[in-house]
Amino acid sequence: MSSHHFVKEQQEPALLILSTKGFGYESIAPLLEWSPTVLVAQEEVHTVISWGIKIDLIIAGTDFQKNNYSLLEEQYPVKFLGVSSEDFLDEGLQYLIATKHGAVNIIGFSHKQVFSLEDKLDHLDMVVWDAPMRYFPVKNGEFKKWFAGESLQLHAPEGAFVEVKENDENQIHSITYATFIEVGEGFVNFKSNKVFWIGEFVMDY
């Protein structure tokens, strides 16, 4: 299956870069494998260009567009996606939903604010990258995945409960800020009556 197929069908997760703080090209490069749609907030445009990444849409205010009009020619066929209130995240997500994308990797968004995304989870699958971790939501109450043995963060509203089952042993965690758990190698089953997010370390510091 070619990368062209993915782009045409919007199957490959888009890449929405809000901040590059804590990230280098090496950490983002694997997400570019199938030529996803790349959206970049105005402050990060020159950094992303310096990495050699081809940008599809620059989310930008009026002043930035006027002062950087030459980018339309230099980075053709890049386009501007206008934003009036500097809410680059919301503008980017609305665009992806409108263009029938099914998923997005959001780079440089605070995991503390992921609950604000939940009204869009019915329309988009999201993975939030907040260095040095990435967070993905469990939307349907239950989730099972194989892990190699690592530390995970369970991120849910304060006081929520998440049941974790591995090797036929059950533990129920009452969530407080930064609830970290250790899981061994093998399948781990998670269950809760609320939407919650699982954070995995993806970088070594």
Distance CA 7, CA 12 (A): 7
Look at residue 178 in the predicted model and tell me its pLDDT. Answer: 77
Q: What is the pLDDT of residues 26-65, one digit of tens each?
A: 999 999 998 999 999 999 999 999 999 999 999 999 999 9
Look at residue 113 in the predicted model and tell me its pLDDT. Answer: 94
Torsion, Cα of 10, 111, 197, 200 (10° steps): 90
Do 93 and 74 touch, CB atoms closer than 8 A?
no
Longest dimension (CA), the chain: 61
Tokens of 125: 């699958």
User: Cis (ω within 30 of 0) for the bond into 77?
Assistant: yes
> What is the domain partition of the chain in residue ranges?
3-131, 138-201
Look at residue 98 in the predicted model and tell me its pLDDT. Answer: 96
Q: List the chain pLDDT tens, one digit each, 205 residues.
A: 333 334 445 668 999 999 999 999 999 999 999 899 999 999 999 999 999 999 999 999 999 999 999 999 999 999 999 998 889 999 999 999 999 999 999 999 999 999 999 999 999 999 999 999 999 999 888 999 999 999 999 999 888 999 999 988 999 999 987 799 999 999 999 999 989 999 999 875 4
Look at residue 4 in the predicted model and tell me its pLDDT. Answer: 39
Stated pTM of the model: 0.91
- Spelled out in words, what is the top-level CATH class assigned to the domain 3-131? alpha beta
Look at residue 100 in the predicted model and tell me its pLDDT. Answer: 95
Strand order in the sheet with 125-130: 79-82, 57-60, 38-41, 14-17, 103-107, 125-130, 133-138, 196-201, 142-155, 179-191, 161-166, 169-174
